Amino acid sequence: MKLPRAWRRLGAEFYARDTLAVARALIGKILVHRGGGAACAGRIVETEAYLAEVDAASHAFRGRTARNASMFGPPGRAYVYRSYGVHACFNVVTAARGSGEAVLVRALEPVLGLASMRRRRGASAVRDLCRGPGRLTVALGIELDHDGVSLLRGPLGVWWDSSADGALALDVTPRIGITRASELELRFCLRGSRFVSGGSRVSARA
């Protein structure tokens, strides 16, 4: 399946910058996976930034390991890990090589390949197909095998819609579903989206 002509793939320069800037800028971009004979895509409506030395919730907080090696770059790669032994979670690697920083994609608004998403998820409600980091990877067919792959080429990547105009309104909140460094306001959501994964008190609007 061909992607819309207005969509453009993000280049390395998008990822190779401040992690908070990338987490904000990812809102409204489109995560695409073309695999299994189908293209599935969703508009990103929720992200969380994970930093390095100052962020106790980050997998990179205690340094590089075999599990988190992809977090250390280069930027523009996928970091995919298993959460609680059950769910694959998809992140984009950011900042300079060796930084150990990434942005978790927490929720999508499905826009392409809904039939394939429903088949994988066993869910019929569009709102619930990609509302959560574990749900969206199942819906798009993203697996642990995608850990470390380049987002700049190949079947998995992030795109922007060149026909979309105007800045998006965001809400900024503490991250959810974690216990360490839970007070840090590093979660970004598309304001008013019904596809956001979970409720949390809005700390700021941007």
Where residue 135 falls (left for φ over 0; alpha for ψ -120 to 50; beta otherwise) is: alpha
pLDDT, tens digit, 9 for 90 and up, residues 16-26: 999 999 999 99
Q: Give the integer Cα–Cα distance in Å for 29 and 169.
A: 14
Which residues of the chain have a pLDDT value below 50? none
Q: What is the 3-state secondary structure (H, E, C) of 29-97?
A: CEEEEEECCEEEEEEEEEEEEECCCCCCCCCCCCCCCCCCHHHHCCCCEEEEEEECCCEEEEEEEECCC
pLDDT of residue 34: 96
Residue 120, Cβ neighbours under 10 Å: how many?
Answer: 19
Predicted TM-score (pTM) of the model is 0.93
Tokens representing residue 78 in the block: 């996928």
Q: Give the integer Cα–Cα distance in Å for 28 and 160.
A: 8
Q: Give the integer Cα–Cα distance in Å for 22 and 203.
A: 19
pLDDT of residue 83: 81
